[in-house]
Amino acid sequence: EAQVTQNPRYLITVTGKKLTVTCSQNMNHEYMSWYRQDPGLGLRQIYYSMNVEVTDKGDVPEGYKVSRKEKRNFPLILESPSPNQTSLYFCASKRTGLNQQFFGPGTRLTVL
């Protein structure tokens, strides 16, 4: 089944404790992206990747890192999480030349 997966789906952590949220897609998509969703603010892009080893900042990249060593994986790294990073995170992917983005199931992160 073609899909985007994220792990973990739920995470409660404490300030300053490094964490990684994984994202994987099995559709051989070149483009992958991370969004955060906060009440009343919609979806805001954190980072995106056009292909392996190519990443770029979105609208709200501060406090986040990403890597794209393989085509299928695009992990989101929070080196020192803070409470303002408490949010619902979505990974998405798409094929180059096509418009539709496919979203993962989301990761709800709480930073205490």
For other proteins, give the closer residue by CB, 17 or 57.
57
Spatial CA neighbour of 66 closest among 23, 17, 36: 23
What is the sign, positive or negative, of the torsion defined by CA atoms of 47, 106, 19, 53? negative
- 75 touching other proteins, by CB under 8 A: no
For the chain, report the end-to-end CA distance as a whole number of angstroms: 36
Q: Which of 59, 79, 83, 112 binds other proteins (CB under 8 A)?
A: 59
- The reply on whether position 44 binds other proteins by CB under 8 A is yes
Q: In angstroms, what is the minimal distance from the CB of 18 to other proteins?
A: 26
Out of 7, 11, 65, 106, the residue judged to bind other proteins by CB under 8 A: 106
Cα(64)–Cα(61) distance, integer angstroms: 6
Give residue for tokens 């056009």.
50
Per CB under 8 A, 34 contacts other proteins: no
Contact flag: residue 58 with other proteins (CB under 8 A): yes
Among residues 1, 10, 42, 69, which is the contact residue for other proteins, using CB under 8 A?
42
Q: Say how far apart CA 29 and CA 11 lie, in whole Å.
A: 27
- Is residue 81 within 8 A of residue 17, CB to CB? The reply is yes
Task: Using CB under 8 A, list all residues that contact other proteins.
Answer: 31, 33, 35, 40-45, 48, 50, 58-59, 90, 94, 96, 99-101, 103-106
